[in-house]
Amino acid sequence: MDAETAYLFRHALLRDAAYQLQLPGERARLHALALDLLEGLLGVPPRLEFDASGEPEFRPHPCDPHALDLAAHAAAASSLDAAAASRELLYVERASYRMLKAHDLAQAASLMQRAAAHPLQPASRRVLLLLSAGRMLHVGGRGAEAQALLREGTELARALGLDAALARGLTFQGIVLHEANRLEEALQLYEQALTLRRALGDRRMEGALLDNISASQARQGKAAQAEENLRRALDIFGELGDEHFTGGAMVNYGLLLMRTARQQEARDMLEQGLARLRSTGDRRGEGMALSILGGWHLNQGRHADALALSRQALEVHRQVGNRRSEAKALGTLGVVLRRSGAAAAAEEHQRAALALYEDLEDRTGYVLALSNLAQVLVDLGRLDEAAALFERAIEMQHALRYGFGEGMALCDYALCLTAQGQIEQAREAWRRGVPLLAAHASPPEVQRVKAAMLAVCARAQVPSLEF
């Protein structure tokens, strides 16, 4: 330790010792003085307001970079000055939304919970903070904590008769259920929220809910209903002139067009949606749009473009703390690398995706990564390992009632069994998988799987599994 470092270390110790020598009342007086001086320099910001949909209206203020220090001074001064407690709450709230703007989701959620628990916090604002904290924890991958906060906030909104907040809570819980592939339950909550939003005359959130409903219907294979709801959502956003929500709905529409084999329309829609999300500064939405557009290029066999877009998406997901989408991007990169012939790198990415999904307790994503990893192991000639993973994936997909995933896993398992020479077992897996795949996948995806089957059968010198 050099002399300067030693001095600083001792100086810090002396400073702490001097602080501890002050009587509690004197400490509180000094904190109150520091708070007054800082507010004199920076100004006192307004308290956060929430719009009719429950979104905070956060406008930057010079105090914001120092909000946590100001909150600490106010908390310490509150024993001397009761009014300081309300200033503590003001700065904790501002700090929480500043962290949200900086994409530090864990810190934002922690501060929101602290603000919600403050004794001076009105119940109506406590509801909104609990719901926002739950949503941030869910995006950041802390599912169990997120669900507990969302339930608490939703039930408190119901008890207080706060219909807008109740609709917000039901929507957030629906999103959690959608991502867990519990689609019917998600749709029930979305419909309840939609009824509330319509009664409130909230057109923007009505459109957002139609967009959410469409996403769940599309995953169920109800393409016509999903498209109708997306068109209605886009009409509403167009009437309102809302470019941000229009961008998100266009990306979802592009995904639906991909699933229904309208590929050029899909690409155009995705690129328009991405441009709108970028123009409105929605980094999280931008990352998700890049991921889906990368998937479009992958489906078209344009591996270089798919690789570039998926890497861009991964970078954005990491920057904004979207761990769920980060896991998806890792998995997509693994698929691109596999189809490009880089099996070893593909295995690395799929194992990284698998680990992240496990940490997130995301069973739907986990089982998808499991199937993708099994495909890589087939390419690497590790057929026994691959077969074991496929069997596990099929069982999990069936339990999740995810027809597309189960159909794909069965068909890929059939190819693995064919390569192992277990032809009768392969035929049985193929017989079970193809109807599921045909019911839930786009025609090009079905044809890709069938072409892979013919190639595997040719190498194994056996007849097609369809005969």
What integer pLDDT is reported at residue 363 of this predicted model?
85
Q: Write down the H helix ranges in 380-422.
A: 383-400, 403-420
Mean pLDDT of 413-427: 87
Task: Compute the half-sphere exposure of residue 163: CA atoms within 13 Å on the CB side of its CA.
Answer: 11
* Beta bridge partners of residue 49, listed in sequence order: 57
* Candidate from 3-7, 193-197, 271-275, 412-416 with smallest mean pLDDT: 3-7
Q: Is residue 189 part of a domain?
A: no
* Candidate from 23-32, 237-246, 410-419, 433-442 with smallest mean pLDDT: 23-32
Would you state the structure tokens that stand for residue 405, as one six-digit string? 């995933």
**What mean pLDDT is reported for the chain?**
87
Number of domains present in the structure of the chain = 1
> Angle at which helices 123-139 and 143-160 pack, to 10 degrees?
160
The length of the chain, given as a count of residues:
467
Of 203, 214, 195, 209, nearest to 237 (Cα)? 203
What integer pLDDT is reported at residue 18 of this predicted model?
53
What integer pLDDT is reported at residue 14 of this predicted model?
53
* 49 SS3 class: strand
What integer pLDDT is reported at residue 81 of this predicted model?
73
Residue 3 pLDDT exceeds 60: no
The model's pLDDT over 347-405, given as tens digits with 9 standing for 90+, comes to 999 999 999 999 888 888 899 899 999 999 999 999 999 999 999 999 988 888 778 88
Tokens 């998600």 found at? 186
Q: Model pTM greater than 0.85?
A: no
Q: Is residue 225 part of a domain?
A: no
pLDDT-derived band at 9, boundaries 50, 70, 90: very low
Q: Is residue 112 part of a domain?
A: no
Mean pLDDT of 240-253: 95
- What is the per-residue burial (b if ≥16 Cβ within 10 Å, else e) of 222-235? ebeebbebbebbbe
First to last CA, the chain: 78
Structural domain boundaries enclosing 376: 345-467
Residue 24 pLDDT exceeds 80: no
Distance CA 248, CA 292 (A): 12
CATH number, position 462 = 1.25.40.10
* Candidate from 112-126, 178-192, 220-234, 415-429 with smallest mean pLDDT: 415-429
Q: Is residue 57 part of a domain?
A: no
Q: Is residue 62 part of a domain?
A: no
Of 399, 400, 395, nearest to 374 (Cα)? 395
* 56 SS3 class: strand
Q: Is residue 39 part of a domain?
A: no
* Pair 437, 449: CB distance under 8 Å: yes
Mean pLDDT of 107-131: 93
pLDDT-derived band at 467, boundaries 50, 70, 90: low
What integer pLDDT is reported at residue 143 of this predicted model?
76
Q: Is residue 436 part of a domain?
A: yes
Provide CB contacts within 8 A for 370, sequence distance 6+: 354, 389, 392, 393, 396
Greater pLDDT, 295 or 22: 295
Q: Is residue 421 part of a domain?
A: yes
The model's pLDDT over 303-351, given as tens digits with 9 standing for 90+, comes to 999 999 999 999 999 999 888 899 999 999 999 999 998 999 999 999 9
